[in-house]
Chains A and B, each alone.
Chain A
Amino acid sequence: MSVTPIIEAHGIRKTFGTHEVLKGIDFELQPGEVVCIIGPSGSGKSTFLRCLNHLEQPTRGLVRVGDEVMGYARKGTELRTIPERDVARQRTKIGMVFQRFHLFGHMTVEENIIEAPIRVSGVSKDEARARCDELLARVGLFDRKNAYPAQLSGGQQQRVAIARALALRPEVMLFDEPTSALDPELVGEVLAVMRDLASESGMSMVVVTHEIGFAREVGSRVIFMDDGQIVEQGPSEQVLAAPSHERTRAFLSRIL
């Protein structure tokens, strides 16, 4: 662990009203690492993931991604909050894939993918299109470039969503239950793309998932969360095969 972590989260707490969803989470992600977060629904896994790119602003705690502290500008040892448009710029380093895809419904597949590179990063249209072709070929949807999201299956939509997130050349990818909204027979194609992303590109990934098989096979580390806290974490095979906490064991026996 001599390398600097690409993401570092310290003491993340999040409160909605009087309900404390996250109760102080410390987290590190090494470059090229694939961390899978598992846990019962309502345990705060998704909220934590959303805190990492400040879609949800933590009530307390700080997140560093690369050399920037999310939501703040650093002046010496002081942090100052920055306006939303600067947070938006910080987010371009972090790709995110949602449970329900959230492709832009009024845009074709290609338009979905080239939108942010052109409008946010200022990439030329030709360059964005070339990158789009490359990404679509990679997720196996080159021939659906001009389709609208509603004309695609869930699995295809999620693969486009992955391509869209990759278009900005992020340093980290966050996946929020990427296969939970899919019909069972479509889960495989999305997991295959994610597996390829981890092994071929060595992408650093944080994956909130219920796919224990994927976690075991691709995840370098597994984190088990319950009730807003990390209960246990460690190498995938260890946590999944020989969990040391009763709560982890109970959870795994329920879903396997």
Chain B
Amino acid sequence: MTSSRSASSGTEAGLAPPLDLAALTVRPTRRPGFWLAGGVCLAALILVVYILVTNDRFRWPVVFEFLFDPRILAGLGLTLFLTLCCMIGSFLLGTVLAVMDSSHNPFIRGMAQTYLWVFRGTPVLVQLLLWFNLGALFPVIGIPGTVFAWSANALISPLSAAIIGLTLNESAYMAEIIRSGLNSVDAGQREAAQALGMRGTLSFRRVVLPQAMRVIVPPTGNETISMLKYTSLVSVIALPELLYSAQLIASKNFQIIPMLLVATIWYLATTSVLSILQRRIEIRFGRGVARTAAQAKPTRARTA
């Protein structure tokens, strides 16, 4: 088509008559599909709200009565505490595992890989139950016959079992995230640090890790949000975090759905806050990357 036209170029038939551009007007294209889809979405939203409001089995008055119940708030506090503890712990342990996994020593590397294999290969629920019942396996922890020996039942409370179980499990996932972050940093950065006389640990802490954070932070944010939800699993070992607190109340007042809704509302609220925090932290660690540098430190960049 095109070739035949170019071949016949010069013939007047191929040329459009001249246009008077000034006389033309521009009209936006009509987009009926856009409004149709919008209408469907709106209808769906109205339907959901209608169901939520009219089905009185949701018992909204009960939900709002217990939303700020001290027991619920205490449960929420424990959920947040668990999330924070376990994420900090697993970040530290994950970093150690990531460094071990990139070691030159095959034994150290093997140890890290075995850890990942075991802790990623088994359900966290099973791990939690195992830690909680550790006393059945090792009645005494420490060196028997010395003062460094404690009864496992005294050491392993629901809280410590929850922290140990969730942290050890999460560390395996964090290790993978941190390892990919460390790998993303150009080897030249470490070399430049070495050439400036920086020791391995110093260059890791000051040069490599901060730059790896840009890659580490987004998935860590996701892991934190997952962790917040995974803490609900520890209700199986009777630790009164948010879900178990709600269930405890429900077992007395038999308002099962309203109490689950209370927990749901709090989970949704806290994960929303975490998502916003994650955005902020991502900008902070994007420092030095051209796209975000100006946003990250506007005042200092401008004085330059």
Contacts and interface: CB of A to CB of B under 8 A. Distances in A.
Contacts of A161: 192
Nearest to B299: A146
Interface stretch (B78-86, B88-96, B126-134, B199-207): B199-207
A203 B193 CA distance: 22
A120 B293 contact: no
Contacts of A116: 196-198
The B interface, classified by DSSP as helix, strand, loop or mixed, is helix
Contact of B191 (A55, A85, A92, A94): A55
A104 B207 contact: yes
A171 B293 CA distance: 35
Contact of A147 (B186, B188, B189, B301): B301
A214 interface: no
A178 to B, nearest CB: 13
B57 to A, nearest CB: 54
A186 B136 CA distance: 71
Contacts of A119: 198, 202, 206
A103 to B, nearest CB: 8
Nearest to B209: A106
Contacts of B197: 88-92, 116, 120-121, 168
Interface stretch (A2-10, A148-156, A187-195, A240-248): A148-156
Contact of A107 (B186, B288, B290, B304): B288
B198 A105 contact: no
A164 interface: yes
B194 interface: yes
B195 A96 contact: yes
A88 B214 CA distance: 27
Interface in B277-304: 285, 287-290, 293, 300-301, 303-304
Nearest to A99: B188
B288 A148 contact: yes
Interface string A25-42: 000000000000000000
B135 interface: no
A148 B300 CA distance: 10
B304 A53 contact: no
B196 A92 contact: yes
Contact of A102 (B188, B287, B289, B300): B188
B192 A115 contact: no
B196 A143 contact: no
Contacts of B194: 55, 88, 91
B211 interface: yes
A150 B288 contact: yes
B218 interface: no
A84 interface: yes
Contacts of A102: 186, 188-189, 191-192
A224 to B, nearest CB: 25
Interface in B168-202: 186, 188-189, 191-200, 202
Given A92-B197, A168-B197, 13 more contacts: A55-B195, A85-B199, A96-B195, A103-B192, A116-B198, A119-B202, A119-B206, A120-B198, A146-B304, A147-B304, A148-B301, A151-B290, A151-B301
Interface of B: 186, 188-189, 191-200, 202, 206-207, 210-211, 214, 285, 287-290, 293, 300-301, 303-304
Interface of A: 53, 55, 84-85, 88-92, 94-96, 98, 100, 102-108, 115-116, 119-121, 143-151, 161, 164-165, 168
